[in-house]
Structure 1
Amino acid sequence: MSSPPSRDAFSFFHPLRVRWAEVDPQSIVFNGHYLTYADVAITEYFRALGIRYPDDLSRDGGDFFAIKTVLEYLAPARFDDELQVGIRVARLGRSSLSFALGIWRDEQALTAGEVIYVHADKTSRSSSPLPVWLREKVMAFERCAPEA
């Protein structure tokens, strides 16, 4: 198992509280809900950057499609836990965004993960370059340079 993600690697966090409906018969959060947590946090990340999803991301005739998700469960979340979901763009490619994900309860790392989206033409679904305005917003927020 890899080491837990560092909270210091993230500049954006979204709080979530575990609801009763998300807990399985083992009294822990059902694994599929962690992808929902990631999706909610990514939407809020875009909101923090001043990006309205999906309107702004589709205005150039493109859209984003998830092509890979990886989650590593380090410890379980339980009903009524207050979680902090950290999201950051770990890689900004020509046509893709790779998000790193970390979920914590207080200081305990519960989940580490990655979600990769590719930007593509809505109709043909063939990859297309990330819009320049999006690259600029992400680079300014994350204080990073794009990959070559």
Structure 2
Amino acid sequence: MSDRNKPSARGDYRLFRTIQTRWMDNDIYGHMNNVVHYSLFDTAVNGWLVENGLIDLRNGQNVFFVVETGCRYYSELAFPDLVTAGIRVAKLGTSSVSYEIGLFRNDEKQAAAEGFFVHVHVDRKTRKPTPLSPESRLALEVISG
């Protein structure tokens, strides 16, 4: 008997970003290497943060550090799949954000993989946690699950 969770559906997520897989994402077994899933999580979330002005990668006073991450795999992804990353905020703290991300292969309704990671908002120079701004909190609340 398995206690393994079932994959989420697209409707379980609040925000979506599309990412094209690359030839180099495949491993010797012909599917996407597990490390690429983590890269897709990072790309989806940080792309949204940049596009919405929540982080300035070059000149911002604050940055986000990933302090915890994990992934559960349900089915294979491979080049040339088009991946849609579903994103939701699972928990919003004073200086931290817990994201849940589902990776959907092409037009499939169930996630091929699901992961999470925790971002901590820190001062770029001191590397110490700093509270999220009210504007950032509001933007993140919009995608809270």
TM-score range, shorter chain: 0.7 to 0.9
User: SS state of the match for residue 13, structure 1?
Assistant: strand
Task: Quote how far apart the aligned CAs of 1:17 are.
Answer: 2.4
CA distance in 1, matches of 2:83, 2:43: 12
1:107 maps to amino acid: K
Give the ranges of 4+ consecutive aligned residues of structure 1 lying more than 3 Å apart after TM superposition.
Answer: none
Task: Quote how far apart the aligned CAs of 1:68 are.
Answer: 0.6
The alpha-carbon distance between structure 1 residues 75 and 126, as it changes in their structure 2 partners (threshold 3 A), is same
CA distance in 2, matches of 1:21, 1:116: 27
Higher-RCO chain (CA-CA 8 Å, sequence separation at least 6): 2
C-alpha contact 1:16 1:83 (8 A) present in aligned 2 = yes
Task: Quote how far apart the aligned CAs of 1:86 are.
Answer: 0.7
Aligned to 1:16: 19
User: % of aligned pairs identical?
Assistant: 26
Aligned to 1:121: 123
Aligned to 2:69: 69
Aligned to 2:38: 35
CA distance in 2, matches of 1:89, 1:73: 20
Deviations 1:17-60 (A, max 9, x none): 22111100000001111111111111232255x2264259x64x
Which of 103, 110, 115 is 1:108 aligned to?
A: 110
Task: Quote how far apart the aligned CAs of 1:11 are.
Answer: 2.0
CA distance in 1, matches of 2:64, 2:54: 13
TM-score (norm: length of structure 2): 0.85
Aligned to 1:133: 135
TM-score (norm: length of structure 1): 0.84
User: SS state of the match for residue 32, structure 1?
Assistant: helix
User: SS state of the match for residue 99, structure 2?
Assistant: strand
1:42 maps to amino acid: V
Deviations 1:54-77 (A, max 9, x none): 259x64x32211101111111110
**Unaligned 5+ runs, structure 2:** none
C-alpha contact 1:12 1:45 (8 A) present in aligned 2 = no
Aligned to 1:44: 47
| CA-atom RMSD in angstroms | 2.1
Aligned length: 140
User: SS state of the match for residue 89, structure 2?
Assistant: strand
CA distance in 1, matches of 2:84, 2:46: 15
**Unaligned 5+ runs, structure 1:** none
